[in-house]
Structure 1
Amino acid sequence: MAKTLRFREDGTFKIVQFTDPEFATNDQEEQQMEAMMLRILQDEQPDLVVFTGDIIASASTKDPADAFRRACCVPDRLNIPWAAVFGNHDSEATITREQLHAMQLTYPNNYAKPDPQGVHGSGNYVLTMKGKDQEAACALYFLDSGSYSPLEHSRMGFYDWIRRDQIDWYARESYRLTNSNGGTPLPSLAFFHIPLPEYNDVWDFNICYGERNDEFCCAPWVNSGLFAAMIEMGDVMGTFVGHDHGHDYWGDWHGIRLCYGRTTRNAYLDRPFAPGARVIVLHEGQRSFDTWLHLADGTLQSEQKKHEPVGRTPKIGAMGLR
């Protein structure tokens, strides 16, 4: 039987985004994190859970498949639909992204889809939510942002980027959904792990809300054009990423809200930075969404600190790895 996502009777659809939980050792810290995740889900009662990568720390565990199963069981235990994309730490050791994607598809409450043929990576798919008229009213795009640059020893090293054939696949799916919607683009969101280079642009040159606890975003040095494609297609209202554990900001860049999740695990900072989740609420028939942070102690942050743009100073060469 086909799995179908639907807007609620009140016209809303709620998503909880978990990012960078890095399941690995099943120690006390990890068990506390898992309990926190369950509390957030019980409090928020979402319609969908999205993991935006680094679900496991595959190089830090002897059994990455078991670590991934523990992550999968969090939403599954509460019978909540869920889906995932992968990050750079998910496939560093003895398990591949293809194996992880195949694993998630076996779970009864998982709504991911098999990979399209001829498209780079694993975990590229689109989901739609039906509205009151039983037609698709919104779309969610999931993209594999890869891990490390294949040009690591050249001037184009650092992190991987979303490839041209993935962008072409997104554009084809967007065209298809727009045509099915009478020529009007479906309000859409996009989820992936590694931020686009435009995440640095929006912080440096526009008003943002939230924290950036480093000088930069660990975006790829290659700008492959996904943001431009989303502008051209006119459907994506917001993108949601992880990767940078100490960042939780969002900002509007040419009509698209570029959003970080809130790390679900340690932010590796020298000061307190509570883990948690980002919550997203869509509204049927509207090109808008609400979002807030749900922190480990139950605090809800709907108003984040305002950041005024200060321009850009050279950062290349100072970047670390996440």
Structure 2
Amino acid sequence: MTRRIVRTSIQLAVLLVTILLIVLFLDNQFNVLPEAIHNALPAHHPGLVITDITVATCSTLNLLSSCKLDQNKWHRVEKDLYLSKGWLSHAFIHIERKRESELKETDRVILDVRIGSLDPVTSEKNQGAERWESRQAGIWLKRTSKHRDADKNIAVTAVDVLFGSDSVEARPGWERTPQALILPDVGGENQGAYLTVRRGPPHEVEKPTLHVNSNGRFKILQVADLHLATGPGLCRDPEPPSKDNGGKCDADPRTFAFINRVLDDEAPDLVVLSGDQVNGETSPDAQSAVFKFASIFIERKIPFATIFGNHDDEGSLSREALMQLTHSLPYSLSESGPTNLDGIGNYYVEVHARGQSSYSALTIYLLDTHGYSPDERQFRGYDWLKKNQIEWFKTTSQELKTSPSHSHYTHHHMDMAFIHIPLPEYRNVDEMVIPATGKQPENPTAPGFNSGFRDALVEEGVLAVSCGHDHVNDYCSLSKSAVGKPELWMCYAGGSGFGGYGGYGGYVRRVRLFEFDMNEARITTWKRVEAGSVERRIDEAIIVDGGSVVAV
């Protein structure tokens, strides 16, 4: 009996070791393990500088080729330069990094990186210890000896990869190379790989504090369903159709031309991105998509807050990774929220009274409505807000109401909420919900299960909630009680991005704005559209007056 146990144990051990070796071999060749298992490049390691950069290329036809170099020397940036779309090839950036205190006399530190097919020394002479050196994929490195690295603020300390001819670098202190890496059979520059580097230590990012303006007003721009791609992307149902470039319509540039115009015209105090910023299926590098939308707000120094839709995490990053990335950026107020709640991105943003007051004038609640139904047999379609999220909202609301910052504020305190997927009450068509502004071309795709969040909003005195998800719905409806008392405004923003569907009879992309007038305890809402009546507000309506919900 003992021999049998020993023999079986040995056989199991041999089998497990064999399986492990096979998995490691396959991962070494084809990167089959999840990225979370790999040692991804951290944004910064204190005291580290980059001493070399190279590219490792492997072929799917040659099982002996490897995309991993010696791990004792090289660190791999876990982004396939072919975005895992190469039929025959994969390629990865590898970097060599060392602590400043461990640099040897023979080590060379990178001061600059360029991409091109020509030697940079044709325009710049190699002088002294600084030399340009060539690497694969058209990379040129300017490296200097340790002794010449007197100014550590110019040494390259971090390296990353972004994708797309329209990609931008949103992180302070980082710079993207103007040219894409030179790779064979990459499929054009629209999704080409670009190196981006940081020099010196990471910049500290301070979170802005929101205040009502000196005129007693605060304006929120809600941008719903950007559906950004890796690269410019292709327009879906563009209206009006593009007349330039042979009728070809690049989705993201046209989307940002619209959003930039609204930002310049309206000058909002806060932008709320209410989900589906990233179009998962066309965005194999979600980081590049995030940086594209964040950069336009960072450039204008406009604070922004994000929640997720059902498509954001269908690309290369999970909800957790997306929120960590967005949270780290300048002017971002985005938060993961309590870890004991369902979802990522359950949090609130306080808007303080005018001046330098610490008193709260407005609370904005943002909650994660998740993605698809966890019980398709009983409740088809989409997921719903969970009990612990609703309890958190109620508890938080009650705690804030009794806090000194709220109770000492002498004016009306007006609260609002933003979600992605509409609540079940959005599809009520009886007299309890009265469509007041805008249109409803498509049936609301609300979850089949009602977890009671609308009632919780009413109980806590929230005046309005606004969502996205259904791109061509752009109405506000008034939810009323059983006795006909107005209780809650429920609004749609309308889809803004050309990477998402439009259709439904020539739908024009749009965004929604909310202006809070604290002097009159009034909320006014309107929309701006991408084409047609571009210079004016449409469907403008006062939905709250004197601190109370009103019928339009």
Q: Give the TM-score normalised by structure 1.
A: 0.88
Q: In the alignment, is residue 265 of structure 1 matched against residue 493 of structure 2?
A: no
Aligned AA for 1:278? R
Determine the C-alpha separation between the residues in 2 that align with 1:169 and 1:15: 24
Aligned AA for 1:139? T
Q: What is the match of residue 33 of structure 1?
A: 255
Bigger relative CO (Cα 8 Å, ≥ 6 apart): 1
2:379 paired residue among 144, 150, 156? 156
Kept in 2: contact 1:144–1:192 (CA 8 A): yes
Q: In the alignment, is residue 221 of structure 1 matched against residue 448 of structure 2?
A: yes
1:217-266 Cα shifts (integer Å, max 9, x gaps): 000001011111111112x1111100001100001113211000021024
Kept in 1: contact 2:502–2:508 (CA 8 A): no
CA separation of 1:285 and 1:293: change in aligned 2, threshold 3 A? same
Q: CA deviation at 1:79?
A: 1.3
1:107-148 Cα shifts (integer Å, max 9, x gaps): 111012342130110011101111135300110000000000
Q: In the alignment, is residue 280 of structure 1 matched against residue 510 of structure 2?
A: no
Kept in 2: contact 1:291–1:302 (CA 8 A): no
Give matches, 1:56-135, under 5 Å: 56-132=278-354, 133-135=357-359
Give matches, 1:170-319, under 5 Å: 170-180=393-403, 181-182=406-407, 186-201=413-428, 205-208=432-435, 209-214=437-442, 216-234=443-461, 236-254=462-480, 255-266=487-498, 267-284=501-518, 287-297=521-531, 298-303=534-539
Percent pairwise identity:
30
1:41-70 Cα shifts (integer Å, max 9, x gaps): 011101001100000111222212211221
Aligned AA for 1:233? E
Aligned AA for 2:517? H
Q: CA deviation at 1:270?
A: 4.3
Kept in 2: contact 1:242–1:263 (CA 8 A): yes
2:261 match: secondary structure: helix
Q: CA deviation at 1:78?
A: 1.4
Q: CA deviation at 1:182?
A: 2.9
Determine the C-alpha separation between the residues in 2 that align with 1:244 and 1:199: 11
1:35 match: secondary structure: helix
Determine the C-alpha separation between the residues in 1 that align with 2:440 and 2:536: 19
Q: What is the match of residue 18 of structure 1?
A: 223
1:87-124 Cα shifts (integer Å, max 9, x gaps): 00111233211111111111111012342130110011
Q: What is the match of residue 370 of structure 2?
A: 146
CA separation of 1:5 and 1:136: change in aligned 2, threshold 3 A? same
Q: Runs of 4+ in structure 1 displaced over 4 angstroms? A: 202-205
Q: What is the match of residue 49 of structure 1?
A: 271
CA separation of 1:289 and 1:36: change in aligned 2, threshold 3 A? same
Q: CA deviation at 1:292?
A: 0.5
Q: What is the match of residue 315 of structure 1?
A: none
Determine the C-alpha separation between the residues in 1 that align with 2:308 and 2:495: 15
More strand by share: 2
CA separation of 1:246 and 1:2: change in aligned 2, threshold 3 A? closer
Determine the C-alpha separation between the residues in 2 that align with 1:98 and 1:212: 33
- The CA RMSD measured in Å over matched residues stands at 2.0
Q: CA deviation at 1:302?
A: 3.6
Aligned AA for 2:528? H
Aligned AA for 1:182? S
Determine the C-alpha separation between the residues in 2 that align with 1:269 and 1:43: 27
Q: CA deviation at 1:284?
A: 1.7
Determine the C-alpha separation between the residues in 2 that align with 1:202 and 1:95: 38
CA separation of 1:198 and 1:287: change in aligned 2, threshold 3 A? farther
Structure 2: 5+ residue stretches without partners: 1-205, 233-249, 481-486, 542-552
Kept in 2: contact 1:237–1:287 (CA 8 A): no
CA separation of 1:137 and 1:26: change in aligned 2, threshold 3 A? same
Task: Choose 183-192 or 252-261, whichever is displaced more.
Answer: 183-192
Q: CA deviation at 1:205?
A: 4.5
Task: Choose 280-289 or 173-182, whichever is displaced more.
Answer: 280-289
Determine the C-alpha separation between the residues in 2 that align with 1:187 and 1:193: 21
